[in-house]
Amino acid sequence: MGAPAFDADNLPYADGDFYFFEQMLDPKERNRLHEVREWLAQEVRPHAAHWWNVGAFPTELIPRIAELDIVSPVKRLGYSNLFAGLLHAEFTRADTSIATFMGVHDGLFTGSIETLASPEQQAEWLPDIYAMKKIGAFGLTEPLGGSDVAGGTRTTAERSGDGWVLNGAKRWIGNATFSDWVVIFARDVADNQVKGFMVDTSLPGYKATKIENKTALRTVENADIVLENLQISDYYRLTGANSFKDTNKVLRITRLSVAWQAVGQQLAAFDVARRYAVERQQFGRPLASFQLIQQQLVEMLGNTVSSLGMMVRLAQLADDGGARDEQSALAKAFTTARMRETVALGRSILGGNGIVTDYEMAKIFADAEAVYSYEGTYEINTLVTGRAITGIAAFV
Ligand X SMILES: Cc1cc2nc3c(=O)[nH]c(=O)nc-3n(C[C@H](O)[C@H](O)[C@H](O)COP(=O)(O)OP(=O)(O)OC[C@H]3O[C@@H](n4cnc5c(N)ncnc54)[C@H](O)[C@@H]3O)c2cc1C
- Residue numbers of the site for ligand X (CB under 6 A)? 104, 138-141, 146-147, 172-174, 217, 222, 370, 373-375, 377, 379-380, 383, 395
Taking a C-beta distance cutoff of 8 angstroms, is the pair 183, 109 a contact?
Answer: yes
Helices (H), the chain: 27-43, 45-54, 62-68, 81-94, 96-102, 111-116, 119-130, 149-152, 244-279, 291-319, 325-349, 361-373, 378-390
To ligand X, the closest distance from the beta carbon of 51 in angstroms equals: 15
Q: Say how far residue 291 (Cα) sits from the centre of its chain.
A: 35
Pick the closer one to ligand X by CB: 13 or 395: 395
Q: How far is the CB of 260 from ligand X (least distance, A)?
A: 16
Residue least distant from ligand X (Cβ): 146
What's the min distance (Å) between Cβ of 207 and ligand X?
16
Nearer to ligand X, 72 or 219 (CB): 219
Contact 196, 241 (CB under 8 A): yes
CB of 157 to ligand X, least distance (A): 16
- The secondary structure of 332-395 as a DSSP string is HHHHHHHHHHHHHHHHHHTGGGGGSGGGSHHHHHHHHHHHHHSSS-HHHHHHHHHHHHHS--S-
Minimum CB distance to ligand X, residue 374 (Å): 4
Q: Largest Cα–Cα distance in the chain? A: 80
Contacts with 133 (C-beta within 8 Å, 6 or more apart), sequence order: 66
Name the minimum Å distance from CB 149 to ligand X: 7
| Closest to 79 in 3D by CA, of 12, 138, 31 | 31
What is the rounded distance in angstroms from the CA atom of residue 158 to the CA atom of residue 390?
39
Shorter beta-carbon distance to ligand X: residue 141 or 336: 141
Minimal distance, residue 24 CB to ligand X, in Å? 31
Given the complex with ligand X, which of 80 and 222 has the nearer CB atom?
A: 222
* Of 115, 107, 122, 124, residue with least CA distance to 71: 107
Task: Determine contact, residues 148/137, Cβ cutoff 8 Å.
Answer: no
Minimum separation from the CB atom of position 28 to ligand X (A): 32
Judged by beta carbon, residue 235 or residue 395, the one nearer ligand X is 395
Q: Which is nearer to ligand X, 37 or 255 (CB)?
A: 255
CA–CA gap between residue 238 and residue 245 (Å, rounded): 14
Task: Give the DSSP letter of residue 7.
Answer: -
Nearer residue to ligand X within complex by CB, 25 or 173: 173
CB of residue 369 vs ligand X: minimum separation in angstroms?
8
**Span between the terminal Cα atoms of the chain, in Å:** 61
> Closer to ligand X at the Cβ: 218 or 274?
218
Pairing verdict, β 285-286 and 281-282: antiparallel
Which residue, 201 or 296, has its beta carbon nearer to ligand X?
201
CB 390 within 8 A of CB 382: no
| Residue with smaller CB distance to ligand X, 244 or 374 | 374
Beta pairing partners, 138: 183
CB 364 within 8 A of CB 265: yes
Question: Nearest distance from residue 371's CB to ligand X, in Å?
Answer: 8
